[in-house]
């Protein structure tokens, strides 16, 4: 994951900082895939997708839940999160995909009814944003009252230009260079009607009165976790030309049409415990402050669950002659017409690779004194304080292997070097030490 993600973990557009957790995610798939809007078919435009490895045009809650892995750092979350791919268009019409390594998903507890928040029901799907928007809609409002006033729904989308003397955030794309990246941000609906798991017009869910705070409307009384998604684009790394511009995959050069999809794939019991115990207390967004999530946290998510081969047989990255699909770039301010994203039926369609439903890779839970593996001669010692006063707990020899790294591999390698203590870090590094640990304080 690019360092910019960690440097840019700032709660933007959030009016209060309450209980929340944040989760880094890497890309797991790219292509014209959208199982919510275009189930079983090639989608109209390209998306960059994070989360469960089983994502595909036919993805369901069951198939996502059975993903071999997740490209997010909480392995119990096999959900899929996706947003439109950003391109840079040159004056001759060709486009170049803008580097993007993933994003950050915030789970927020907001409003006076936070303690009544319930986990997502299995199968819930949410789409936030309007891909056809090309201007700011100041008339369509959230539900509200005198105590909790409404707000323009268009405020769900914002952009941040990361640079020294950072300018204020805005609801459309920046047309200037952002040295540390341009961050697209979107709030998801956090109120559910309690009936449908998905409706094409998204009327099964609604925003809180202040979008990121407030109360739910009477028509959607059930409060669910509030997702806030950040996607960072390395716009400064794109070679530009006079007359060029950034444009999202659906033909949007404004940014008003930015949108995000969420397809639930959470382990229900894990999410329920996290919602109950970690969305109502101040924890500064740290996963380590939420015991149930810490059990499933991994720092090696991008290595443990690397990007999958494309399911749709067409190039969507690098320099391309046009936007993938049939997307006509529309300036606005009126909304883009439906026909601007429709292909001529006579045009050949790209191939689609059938995805195979994989088997989830279980996360082992061990206790001090237990052997690993169960028939092995080594045992799990405990958790020790690390990097105290610059001293690592396992400080003898270190090596990295980005292709093959398991606990068994780590143990065998350390044993071959004459060391009895070993540990895996970042999903690909081995650290060793002699039998005496310094410092020895337990964590």
- The two tokens of residue 107 are 């789970």
Do 260 and 371 lie in a common domain? no
More confident residue, 403 or 144: 144
- Domain with 403, as residue range(s), is 364-443
Does any domain span residue 351?
Answer: no
Do 228 and 163 lie in a common domain? yes
Is the pLDDT at 69 greater than 90, yes or no?
A: yes
Is the pLDDT at 123 greater than 80, yes or no?
A: yes
Q: What is the pLDDT of residues 337-355, one digit of tens each?
A: 886 777 777 778 899 998 7
Question: Looking at residue 280, what is its pLDDT?
Answer: 82
Do 108 and 49 lie in a common domain? yes
Question: Looking at residue 425, what is its pLDDT?
Answer: 66
Do 197 and 260 lie in a common domain? yes
Does any domain span residue 309?
Answer: yes
DSSP per position, 161-195? E-STTPPPPBSS---S--TT-EEEEEEPP-EE-SS
Q: Which of 276, 306, 341 is the last residue of a domain?
A: 341
Q: Which of 179, 155, 159 is nearest to 169 (CA)?
A: 159
Is the pLDDT at 182 greater than 80, yes or no?
A: yes
Question: Percentage helix, strand, coil, to 5, in the chain?
Answer: 15, 25, 60
Burial code (b: 16+ CB inside 10 Å, e: under 16) for 259-270 equals bbbbbbbbbeeb
Is the pLDDT at 45 greater than 60, yes or no?
A: yes
More confident residue, 288 or 411: 288
Do 286 and 396 lie in a common domain? no
Does any domain span residue 281?
Answer: yes
Is the pLDDT at 107 greater than 80, yes or no?
A: yes
Residue 7 — very low, low, confident or very high, per pLDDT cuts 50/70/90?
Answer: very low
Question: Looking at residue 19, what is its pLDDT?
Answer: 83
Q: Which of 272, 306, 341 is the last residue of a domain?
A: 341
The percent of residues in the chain predicted with pLDDT above 70, rounded, is 80
Weakest-pLDDT range from 124-133, 204-213, 375-384: 375-384
Does any domain span residue 26?
Answer: yes
Do 381 and 421 lie in a common domain? yes
The percent of residues in the chain predicted with pLDDT above 90, rounded, is 68
Q: What is the pLDDT of residues 277-301, one digit of tens each?
A: 999 888 788 898 899 999 999 988 9
Mean pLDDT, rounded, of the chain: 86
- The two tokens of residue 48 are 């960059």
Residue 400 — very low, low, confident or very high, per pLDDT cuts 50/70/90?
Answer: low
Does any domain span residue 349?
Answer: no
Does any domain span residue 288?
Answer: yes
Do 323 and 422 lie in a common domain? no
Query: What is the largest distance, in Å, between two alpha-carbon atoms of the chain?
Result: 72
Do 399 and 306 lie in a common domain? no
Q: Which of 277, 309, 341 is the last residue of a domain?
A: 341
Q: For 117-137, what is the mean pLDDT? A: 98
Question: Looking at residue 228, what is its pLDDT?
Answer: 98
Do 315 and 418 lie in a common domain? no
Whole-prediction pTM: 0.81
- How many domains in the chain? 2
Is the pLDDT at 1 greater than 70, yes or no?
A: no
Helices and strands of the chain, counted as H and E runs: 6, 19
Is the pLDDT at 437 greater than 60, yes or no?
A: no
Does any domain span residue 301?
Answer: yes
Do 179 and 60 lie in a common domain? yes
Weakest-pLDDT range from 119-128, 213-222, 228-237, 407-416: 407-416
Distance CA 272, CA 270 (A): 5
Do 122 and 234 lie in a common domain? yes
Is the pLDDT at 440 greater than 50, yes or no?
A: no
Do 268 and 396 lie in a common domain? no
Does any domain span residue 217?
Answer: yes
């Amino acid at each position: 994951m690019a360092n910019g993600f960690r440097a840019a973990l700032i709660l933007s557009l959030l009016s209060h900082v309450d209980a929340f957790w944040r989760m880094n995610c890497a890309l797991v798939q790219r292509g014209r895939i959208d199982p919510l809007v275009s189930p079983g078919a090639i989608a109209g435009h390209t998306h960059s997708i994070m989360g469960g490895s089983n994502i595909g045009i036919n993805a369901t809650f069951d198939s996502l839940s059975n993903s071999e892995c997740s490209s997010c750092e909480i392995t119990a979350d096999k959900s899929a999160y996706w947003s439109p791919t950003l391109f840079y268009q040159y004056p001759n019409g060709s486009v170049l995909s803008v580097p993007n390594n993933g994003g950050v998903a915030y789970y927020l507890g907001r409003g006076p009814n936070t303690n009544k928040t319930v986990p997502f029901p299995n199968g819930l799907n949410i789409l936030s944003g309007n891909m056809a928007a090309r201007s700011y809609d100041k008339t369509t409002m959230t539900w509200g009252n005198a105590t909790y006033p409404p707000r323009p729904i268009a405020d769900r989308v914002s952009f941040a230009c990361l640079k020294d003397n950072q300018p204020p955030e805005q609801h459309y794309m920046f047309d200037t260079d952002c040295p540390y990246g341009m961050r697209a941000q979107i709030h998801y609906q956090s109120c559910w009607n309690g009936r449908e798991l998905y409706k094409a017009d998204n009327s099964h869910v609604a925003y809180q009165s202040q979008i990121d705070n407030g109360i739910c409307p009477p028509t959607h009384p059930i409060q669910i976790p509030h997702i806030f998604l950040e996607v960072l684009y390395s716009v400064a790394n794109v070679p530009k030309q006079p007359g060029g511009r950034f444009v999202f995959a659906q033909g949007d050069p404004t940014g008003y049409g930015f949108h995000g999809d969420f397809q639930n794939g959470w382990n229900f019991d894990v999410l329920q415990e996290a919602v109950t115990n970690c969305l109502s207390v101040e924890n500064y967004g740290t996963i380590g402050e939420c015991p149930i999530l810490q059990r499933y946290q991994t720092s090696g998510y991008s290595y443990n669950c690397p990007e999958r081969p494309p399911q749709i047989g067409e190039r969507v990255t690098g320099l391309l002659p046009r936007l993938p699909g049939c997307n006509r770039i529309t300036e606005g301010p009126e909304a883009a017409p439906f026909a601007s994203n429709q292909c001529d039926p006579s045009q050949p369609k790209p191939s689609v690779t059938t995805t195979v439903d994989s088997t989830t890779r279980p996360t082992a839970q061990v206790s001090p004194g237990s052997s690993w593996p169960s028939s092995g001669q080594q045992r799990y010692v405990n958790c020790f304080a690390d990097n105290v006063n610059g001293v690592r707990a396992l400080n003898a020899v270190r090596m990295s292997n980005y292709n093959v790294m398991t606990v068994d591999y780590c143990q065998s390698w350390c044993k071959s070097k004459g060391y009895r203590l070993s540990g895996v870090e970042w999903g690909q590094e081995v650290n060793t030490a002699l039998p005496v640990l310094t410092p020895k304080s337990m964590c």
